[in-house]
Structure 1
Amino acid sequence: MKFRRKAATDDTTPEGADDTVAPVESGPYDAETIADSVDRVDLGSLLIAPTEGRELRLQVDDETGKVAAVMLASEEGAMELQAFSAPRGGDLWTEVRPQIAADITQRGGQVSEREGRFGTELVCQMPVKRADGTDAVQPSRIIGVNGSRWMLRASLLGRPAVEPEMAGEWEDALALVAVRRGAQAMPVGQPLPVTLPENARKVQ
C-alpha cells in the first residue's frame, strides 16, 4: 500500500498489505452486516481487501491531511473508489448516473452505457493533455453499487476500462470492498470520510 501526498511524494505503507484473498461472487458489502473472515484494510468508510498484483494507494491532501483519493493500482490499470451517503432503500446510482454523463459530455467527453456485473455502468472517453502537452483520450468505466444508506462508485482506468471482458479480477476486488456508512445524519450524496489506517507508517 502506498500513501501519496497530493502535493508531495511522501509514501507510507501499512504492515500486512501483501496478503491475498480468494475472489468472491457477491458484494460489495455493508460493513455492519458482513460475516466473512477476510482481513481488510480499515480506511473508515471503506474496508478494502488486499488482492494479488494490486497496490492500495491513498492520495493525501497536504493542506488538510485528509485522504483525497483511494485507488487500487497495477501496471495494467487502476480502480478508484469512493463511497457516498444515500437514502435507505434508494437508488442513488440511477439518479446520479445521468448527472455524471452530462458533466463528462459538457467537458468534451463521450459517454455510453453498458450492462455489467453490477448493473448499468458508464463507458467514458475523456480528452486530456499529456505531460508533453499533446492531446490524448483517457478511457474509463464508472460502476455504481447501491447499498444500505450508501452508494459505492468505482472508476476503472487503463486496460480494465477498455477490455471489460478481461476485467474479472478487478471486479472481484470491487466485490470484496465493504462500506461503513455510520449512524450519523448526512446529506444524500455527501462523500463518506476516509481515514488513514492506524498502522500506517511514513516512508522516507
Structure 2
Amino acid sequence: MGLFSRRKPRRAEEAVDAETPDRRDRAEELDRREADRPDAADGPGSADGPDADTGMETSEEPAPEEDGTAATPRGDHLEDGPYDVSEAPEEDRIDLGGLQVPTVDGMELRMEVDQRSGAVTGANLVLGGSSLQVQAFAAPKSRGLWEDVRSSLRDSVVSQGGTAETRPGAFGPELITRLPVKRADGRTGYRPARFLGVDGRRWFLRAILTGPALGDTEQARRFETLVSRLVVVRGTGAMAPQELIPLHLPGERPGLEQVRSGPLDPLARGPEITEIG
C-alpha cells in the first residue's frame, strides 16, 4: 500500500503542473523515469532489478539444445541423402528391407537379431574398428521425430548417471553421450557414443557411431558419407509413429562378411527408441 500511496500524490501534482508548457515537459520526464523504475508494476526490470539474479532465463538444459539446432553448412563430403526410396539415385546397394546400404570396400555388415522372435532389429556397419548402428522408424506426416527423440535420449542418459550434450553436426543437431557401464573389474566406466538423427518422408533414421571414429575426424567423415548414401524404404502400410520399419537379412554377396548377432545392448550404444517412446 505504501508504494501506491507515494505514487498517487506525485501523479496528482504532475497533472496540475502540466497546465503550463514548461511543467508539461517536466511531467512527461517524470513519467518516463517512473516507468523505468525496477519496481514499476508494468515497466521492464533493469539489469540491477530483483529479476536479474533469478536465473529464470538461463536454465542449463535449453542452452545446449538451442546451440545444437543452429544451422550448419552441409559438408562437401556428403551426398544428398539419406534418401527416400522414391528419390534415391541408382547405386549398387545391399537390400535389408527397410534400409538399403551402399557397398563400401572393407565394410563389415553385422545384423542385429532378436534371439527370441528372430526379428532383425538393426544393422551395424563396421569400418576400421568403429561401428555405425542404423535403424529406421515410421514417423507421422505432420512432423519429424528427432527433436523429441533427442530430448528423451538426453534425459534417459542423464538419469542413468551419464552425460549428454547437443551440438551441431553433419545432418543438424546431434547428441554426444557418455553412458556408464560396469567394467570387468567391477568399476564403472563410461562408453561414449554419437547419436545422429534425420527426419525424412514419413520416416525417421537414427544412426549411432561408436569406436575410434569418435576421436578421428577423417574416420568420422567416412561414416557421415555413408549415412548420406543410405536409402529408407518406408512402404505404404499403416505404421504407428516410432515403430521400427521391418528389416531382413541380406542375400549372399561376394566379399561381404555377414555376422548374425544377438539383441541390441542399450548400454553399448545408448538407450533404444522403443525404451523411451
Aligned counterparts, 1:1-204, within 5 A: 24-34=78-88, 36-164=89-217, 166-199=219-252
For structure 1, the residue ranges without an aligned partner over 5 or more in a row are 1-22
> Structure 2: how far apart are the matches of 1:202 and 1:105?
35
Contact persistence 2:111–2:258 (CA under 8 A): no
| Distance 1:165-1:189 versus aligned 2 partners, 3 A rule | same
TM normalised by structure 2 equals 0.60
SS of alignment partner, residue 154 of structure 2:
helix
Shift of 1:46: 0.6
Structure 1 residue 91, shift from structure 2 partner: 1.9
Larger-Rg structure: 2
Deviation at 1:68, TM superposition (A): 2.7
What percentage of aligned pairs have identical amino acids?
38
Q: Structure 2: any 5+ residue segments left out of the alignment?
A: 1-76, 260-277
Q: CA RMSD in A?
A: 2.1
Instruction: For residue 191 of structure 1, report the CA deviation from its aligned partner.
Output: 1.1
For 1:51, the aligned partner's letter is V
| Bigger relative contact order, structure 1 or 2 (CA pairs below 8 A, ≥6 apart) | 1
**Which amino acid in 2 is paired with 1:84?**
F
Moved more, 66-75 or 184-193: 66-75
Q: Compare the two structures and name the one with the higher strand fraction.
A: 1
Rounded to whole Å, the distance in 2 between the matches of 1:91 and 1:62 is: 31
- CA 1:183 to 1:138, structure 2 compared with 1: closer, same or farther past 3 Å? same
Superposed displacement of residue 24, structure 1: 4.6
CA contact (8 A) 2:197 2:205 kept: yes
**Is the 1:89–1:148 contact (alpha carbons within 8 Å) kept by the matching residues of 2?**
no
Alpha-carbon distance in structure 1 between the residues aligned to 2:115 and 2:218: 38
Work out whether residues 136 and 245 of structure 2, in 8 Å CA contact, stay in contact via their aligned partners in 1: yes
In 1, Cα distance between equivalents of 2:219 and 2:252: 34
Q: CA 1:202–1:165 in 2, change beyond 3 Å: closer, same or farther?
A: closer
When normalised by structure 1's length, the TM-score is 0.80
